[in-house]
Amino acid sequence: MGFWPEGYRCCVNITFDYDSNSALIRRALLDIVAQSRGRFAPNVAIPRILDLLDTHEIKATFFTPGWTIDNFTESVEEILSRGHELGAHGYFHERLTDLSKEMEETVFERSMASFERIDVKPEGFRAPYWLISDRTIKLVQRLGFKYDSNFMDNDMPYMLVWRGVDTGLVELPVEWMLDDWPQFETHRRDPQTAYDVWKPEFEGIYELGRYFGLTCHPQAIGRISRLKMLDRFITEMKEKVDVWFATCKEVADWAREKLT
């Protein structure tokens, strides 16, 4: 018997880290043009991505900093109204490893307050840059999150044990090779190159019946040539009829049932 719901051989989970201009403003306060790149997400990329997901009838998870919720509220409301999930992703896209205890707590408080303003209780947490401090997991537990998506030690969901203690959190592991940022921003690769990295990984995961978690950034993947590649990639994954396309919450709920 496989791990996934009946009739499904493997799981594909598409996530978007909706950073908008949060990190750019925090890091380059005076560089107005750099900041404008982040606004490509609410202006252009998010509407395109939502249409693409609708076409494929796929629901996704958007990990969203509080800053994005507060400043691009309409766009975030649109994501919700189209049936997608929102997860937490810091307030200003902070590097949690750089913060004092008090500062890190403040970041979480501000992020939660932004979610409260739109009446959403996020169940999942993904740290900006996938950087967590020694205190982060404890905070995530205390704030009532149900899953975490930061570690890179598996290609299946699992119950997260931290410092020898069961946290009760489901971990949805990630991996840099399945992140569009290094492909398109760090290294400026062409869409075909990213496809050539992702496609064989998916094929292998499909064969083994495991978990394929893709991390995208609207401002990167939303450029049209890249989005066309994602469209083609999703179309090909969907041709295998026994792939379960699920949000993080759906995967986490299912994994918790199976594993506890």
Judged by the rule CB under 5 A, the positions of this chain that interact with Zn ion are 17, 19, 128
- By beta-carbon proximity to Zn ion, the closer residue of 10 and 221 is 221
Q: How far is the CB of 92 from Zn ion (least distance, A)?
A: 11
Other CB atoms within a 10 A radius of the CB of residue 170 amount to 26
Nearest distance from residue 32's CB to Zn ion, in Å?
21
Nearer to Zn ion among residue 20 and residue 247 (C-beta): 20
Task: State which residue has the least CB distance to Zn ion.
Answer: 17
Residue 17 Cβ, how far from Zn ion at the closest point, in Å? 4
Instruction: Tell me the two tokens of residue 156.
Output: 């299946």
Cβ–Cβ < 8 Å for 182, 216 = no
Question: End-to-end alpha-carbon separation of the chain, Å?
Answer: 17
Contact 92, 69 (CB under 8 A): no
Q: Phi first, then psi: give them for residue 18, nearest 5 degrees.
A: -90, 70
Nearer to Zn ion, 65 or 237 (CB): 65
Backbone angles phi, psi at 142, to 5 degrees: -60, -35
Least distance to Zn ion, CB of residue 163, Å: 25
Nearest to Zn ion of 19, 123 (CB atom): 19
Which C-beta is closer to Zn ion: that of 128 or that of 173? 128
Q: Report the C-alpha gap between 221 and 88 in whole angstroms.
A: 20
Q: How far is the CB of 164 from Zn ion (least distance, A)?
A: 29
